[in-house]
Amino acid sequence: MVIRTVVGVDIGNSTTEASLATIDADGSLEYVGAALTRTTGIKGTVKNVDGVAKSVVWALESAGLKVTDLDLILLNEATPVISGLAMETITETIITESTMIGHDPRTPGGKGLGVGTIVDFDSLSDVVAGTSIIVLVARGVDFEVVARGINAAVERGVDVTGAILCNDDAVLVANRLNIKIPIIDEVSRVDLVPKGMVAAVEVAGPGQSIRTLSNAYGLATIFGLDPDQTRVVSPVARALTGNRSAVVVRTPSGDVADRTIPAGSLELIGARKNATVDVSRGAADIMAEVERVSPLQDVKGEAGTNTGGMIANVRQSMADLSKHALADVHIQDLLAIDTAVPQEVRGGVAGEVALENAVALAAMVRTKESGMQAVADAVAEQLRALGAAKVEVLVGGVEAEMAVLGALTTPGTDKPLVVLDLGGGSTDAAVIRTDGATDATHLAGAGDLVTKLIDAELGLDNLELAEEIKRCPLGKVESFFHIRLENGTVQFFEKPLPATAFARVVALGDGGMSPIPTRHSLDRIRRVRRTAKERVFVVNALRALRGIAPGGDLRQIGFVVLLGGCALDFEIPELIADAVAPYGIVCGTGNVRGTEGPRNAVASGLVASYAARTAPVAVGADA
């Protein structure tokens, strides 16, 4: 009896999965191995070859087979997805009229609001009585010397309203003064603080935040700003919101420059309708227009705007990767999400930021011709070099349709069945009806976009940390022997926790706790994480289900199986199940082949599809 050794390979945005099976001449199928590895390169490009070859070799090794035993490799029809952020409002505001001074807002001394002219500590003896000043103290001056100098100036009649220190001495100085003034410290760039300018220093009480300097009208009152100037300095106020202490310096007018790059508009080209929508109208309006012109055939962005730049970059990136002409690259789906990202306020000495509205756009790119055949040819060449002389590599099928066949290997499932394949770059949905007919839809946006949203909203500039936050529950280290988990419960430890984790929010991964080096509270990080998942996965799940439900009516869907790496997430399945529950839909995480969990569905489906297609031919040949 002839037995063929076949490997189905699913190339995803993040991982490449392999499913190994043997197929008898009569078409009977037996799965014997599986493997998982990281995807190399952008999904759907020739750089995927190394990851594919590694997953195939590992799958063979797991079954005790050699590369020389391999007959056939089946690849999925992988569609690349590239996502980016298009800003809605201010992207760069240069403000030198009001300069913020970078310091540690958590360690101030004193309390209150002080306004005066900045004077260097060494020049304090030259200040005449009755002058309102803020003392600027350079590095290396002892706190007792500072306190004596300020007390002496006050006794001479100088109105000392506040102090700016380079050293971490605010509390030590405040405790030795005869008056109570607001003091900020740890100003690392004290040399950049402009002397002779009017400034305001504010320190709030413990557990409170400043009120005047975080209010645009408070700044206008202090510095005597007109309406136009108030509008210009409003990002300064927003950037200081929530701080316990702050200092703002008024520098000469005329240095003010405000440059805004507009968000721009999107031109949506559908099969029968076209539409133009301004990105500043928000994600809801954009998605309503996308649905109205559906099915989408292409998207263009307005030249000279943030949106135009983002769309052009996505298109150019795909053209470079696929070696296709730019005119042959089209966008087949778009997901817009309202978000808020911290933007640097120029004029700040230490990278101060203000939250600005933004629209995140994820685009699914397709080319005139699939690049998968080139991937298949390269995989065949590499496997033959490894000793698989007889191997053949075929592009086996579309992801969602193959995922349905793989999902049917989950114990307890039967036709009709709907699957949601939650990957790194795309959300795919497919339905298989009782008669075996299938229908599928493929949407842009999944796990990678969630990671980018978390990274952007928290201002991390660290995708690896954002990925950790996305995947893991959180806790707050409250002592060296206990942490408070995000659900409110407390976990105790027999051995002391690392000093680097003390008083920090930590991500609780399989490898232990990872401190998150930000000043965001646990509640803030958790809220950003869950909101990002809801905006991407819940929205896309409902879009996908409406796309395949008879007449778009979700109540016609009975069962949904969640697949893909994101179905392993500790809260995404729950969020989606809650969203579809009002429609009477039973939703759960799949268990492919009863052993693989929600992974390996597409790879297993590729093998099952091939076995079903070849079975009649094999039987006829034997007869």
**Domain CATH for 202:** 3.50.30.70
Q: Which residues of the chain have pLDDT under 70?
A: 1-2, 79-105, 239, 252-262, 321-322, 342-356, 367-370, 616-623
Domain-terminating residue out of 347, 366, 385: 366
Sign, Cα dihedral of 367, 373, 374, 376 = positive
Model pLDDT for residues 100-155, shown as the tens digit of each residue: 565 666 778 999 999 999 999 999 999 999 999 999 999 889 999 999 999 999 99
- Do both 154 and 228 map to the same domain? yes
Do residues 441 and 577 share a domain? yes
Q: Are residues 68 and 29 in the same domain?
A: yes
Tell me: do 518 and 567 sit in the same domain. Answer: yes
Answer yes or no: are the C-beta atoms of 36 and 603 closer than 8 Å.
no
- Cα 301 to Cα 317: distance, rounded to the nearest angstrom: 15
Q: What are the pLDDT digits (tens) for 457-482?
A: 888 889 899 999 999 999 999 999 99
Instruction: Quote the DSSP letter at residue 538.
Output: I
Same structural domain, 133 and 231: yes
Residue type, 171: V
Whether 49 and 107 map to the same domain: the answer is no
451 SS3 class: helix
User: Distance (Å, rounded) from C-alpha 29 to C-alpha 10?
Assistant: 19
Same domain, 203 and 298: no
Q: What angle do CA 430, 452, 241 make, to 5 degrees?
A: 135
Q: What's residue 331's pLDDT?
A: 87
CATH number for position 267: 3.90.470.30
Residue 528 maps to which CATH number? 3.30.420.40
SS3 state at 611 = helix
With beta carbons less than 8 A apart as the criterion, state whether 589 and 564 touch.
no
Q: Which of 255, 290, 323 is the last residue of a domain?
A: 255
Judge if 426 and 439 occupy the same domain. yes
Distance in angstroms (rounded) separating the CA atoms of residues 349 and 361: 31
Q: Across 49-120, where does the E strand assignment appear?
A: 72-77, 81-87, 92-94, 98-100, 112-120
Query: Which residue bears the tokens 């076995």?
Result: 611
Q: How many domains does the chain have?
A: 4
Q: The domain containing residue 617 runs over which residues? A: 1-79+370-409+599-622
Q: What is the DSSP string of 359-408?
A: EEEEEEEEESS-SHHHHHHHHHHHHHHTT-TT-EEEEEEEHHHHHHHHHT
3-state percent helix, strand, coil for the chain, nearest multiple of 5? 35, 30, 35
pLDDT at residue number 84: 52
pLDDT (0 to 100) of residue 261: 53
Same domain, 145 and 38: no
- Asked whether residue 403 falls in the same domain as residue 419, the answer is no
Amino acid sitting at position 54: K
Residues 399 and 521 in one domain: no
46 and 163 belong to one structural domain: no
Q: Using CA atoms, how far apart are residues 325 and 459, in angstroms rounded to an integer? A: 36
Query: 169 and 143 in contact (C-beta within 8 Å)?
Result: yes
Q: Taking the CB of residue 294, how many other CB atoms lie within 10 A of it?
A: 16
